[in-house]
A and B are shown apart, each in its own frame.
Chain A
Amino acid sequence: MTKTLCPPLADKDVENLKAGDRVLISGIIYTARDAAHKKLLELMERGEKLPLDLKGQIIYYVGPTPAREGEVIGAAGPTTSSRMDKYTPPLLERGVRAVIGKGLRSQDVKKSLKDNKSVYLVAVGGAAALLKEKIVSSKLVAYEELGPEAIRELEVCDFPVFVANDVHGNDIYEIGKRKYERNR
């Protein structure tokens, strides 16, 4: 079954998700990679105002290719999430309800997801042209100087992801592998 998500997300939206679910996202999501995460955390440490309200939001780890003239964005698939591991728990505490990336997360992140009732979503790595087609608009929010690493507001329509870690502590990477491994 395919579920749908429209941010900002409430408790029941995330509680309803299970590891392995297919999800289509429609609405606004925000992009951020390592450099933008670092800047957000520095602001938080200094107690300053953030350039966006994180409550209930979804953050997408992506560094797209340049857009051609007349296009919204270039190829825009997920980047490896583990580079964001050390920045993720404070953002979840601040209200982020879902992050989209690819690949393994640290134990700390998995615990923080559970504690903060948030989910880790995964988009297909290398499906960047397909994912690009689901992005209908893109607007700069902060840190233009970071180029492809700037924070952008993306409006997406039926953006396909899978639930990797749900709020109940399940992990599709563990469940899936266990189900299909063969010991000969």
Chain B
Amino acid sequence: MREIPVERVSDVVEKMCIDSNIFLGQDVLKAIKRGLDLEESPLGRDVLEQLVKNTEIAMNTKTPICQDTGTAVFFLEIGQEVHFTGGYIEDAINEGVARGYEKGYLRKSIVLDPLRRVNTGDNTPAVIHTRLVPGDRVRIVLSAKGGGGENMSALKMLKPADGEEGVIDFVLETVERAGPNPCPPIIVGVGVGGNFEQVAFLAKKALIRKLGNPNPDEDLARLEEILLEKINDLGIGPQGFGGRITALDVHVEKAPAHIASLPVAVNINCHVSRHLETII
């Protein structure tokens, strides 16, 4: 057994919350700059230029990239040889989130009750997905997920006969309906297969893959390429002002499904795609 004090997890999480909100990942920045090379619309180029400048200002002045500093979503992989000491792991994560959002001057955007809507004041509780894996390591992936893209995401239970075409249609329909609201350029996470709750999880998980890395599965890589091209043919463009670059990337993940089902989920992320990974 390898012992890990949970306090160490809190410290790591605190830093991840602050860093992810101030420093945009190089993969995303590279994709925005590539978009700038390809964009034909003058307004679209203006927008992309502002975004590049924004990330520099954020980094130099330690200001969050966006004022919506997100819901803290964690993907936790715990090696089964690990023994946490000194407290409960989920409490430790929430402790790290509360400290990070306070010390980093981040916005607290979580309400305790979805209907009564009273702010918890420290951006907790986080959304925590845990998986037990072989080994004695802990892998923590944080996604600080903004509300704009989340609100325009969608899920549909297709018929198996709808096939790939049905999946493509639903993705396009969802992105078109979202229009300017998720602050394009966007990143599109698509889940295909599994069941009702699994497909939403797949779509979210698709978003944490680094940009510029197609799915290793050849079929899915091809589907990602087709989807990206079709989405950018919609003409929505940066901020919805019209243009070539509506999406920076599309990621698809799949899972085995029931003989009667073809679930599909589309999780939209904005260009402020905040992901960090730490291994303890």
Chain A residues with a Cβ under 8 A of chain B: 20, 22, 62-68, 74-77, 79-80, 82, 102-104, 122, 124-130, 132-133, 147-148, 160, 162, 172-173, 175-184
Contact = CB atoms under 8 A, between A and B. Distances in A.
A175 B243 CA distance: 11
Nearest to B69: A65
B65 A129 contact: yes
A181 B234 CA distance: 5
Nearest to A132: B63
A184 B231 CA distance: 12
B240 interface: yes
Contact of B234 (A63, A68, A177): A177
Interface stretch (B48-56, B129-137, B196-204, B256-264): B48-56
Contact of B183 (A102, A133, A173): A102
Contact of B54 (A22, A74, A128, A178): A128
A128 B105 contact: no
Contact of B180 (A68, A75, A102): A102
Given A74-B105, A124-B239, 18 more contacts: A66-B106, A75-B63, A75-B65, A75-B107, A77-B66, A77-B67, A79-B67, A103-B240, A127-B53, A128-B66, A130-B54, A162-B239, A173-B240, A176-B41, A176-B241, A177-B179, A177-B240, A182-B235
A169 B20 CA distance: 41
A20 B271 contact: no
A68 B61 CA distance: 10
Contact of A180 (B119, B179, B235, B270): B235
A184 B54 CA distance: 35
Contacts of B235: 176-182
B233 A184 contact: yes
Contact of B181 (A64, A104, A175): A104
A41 B112 CA distance: 27
Centre residue among A66, A76, A132, A180 by max chain B CB count within 10 A: A180
A156 B18 CA distance: 27
Given A127-B50, A130-B57, A64 B242 contact: no
Contacts, number: 158
Given A177-B236, A180-B243, A75 B53 contact: no
Contacts of A79: 67-68
B237 interface: yes
A125 B243 contact: no
B91 interface: no
Interface in B153-183: 179-181, 183
Contacts of B270: 125-126
A80 B242 contact: no
Contacts of A62: 67
Contact of A65 (B50, B53, B67, B241): B67
A77 B179 CA distance: 18
Nearest to A148: B107
A126 to B, nearest CB: 5
A48 to B, nearest CB: 25
Of all A-B residue pairs in the complex, the 3 with the closest CB atoms, nearest first, are: A176-B242, A181-B235, A125-B183
Contacts of A183: 233
Interface in B18-62: 40-41, 43, 46-47, 50-51, 53-55, 57-58, 61-62
6 contacts: A66-B107, A74-B64, A128-B63, A130-B50, A176-B240, A183-B233
Contacts of B151: 80
Given A126-B65, A128-B54, A162 B43 contact: yes
B67 A180 contact: no
Nearest to A173: B240
A159 B134 CA distance: 53
Contacts of B43: 20, 22, 162, 172, 176
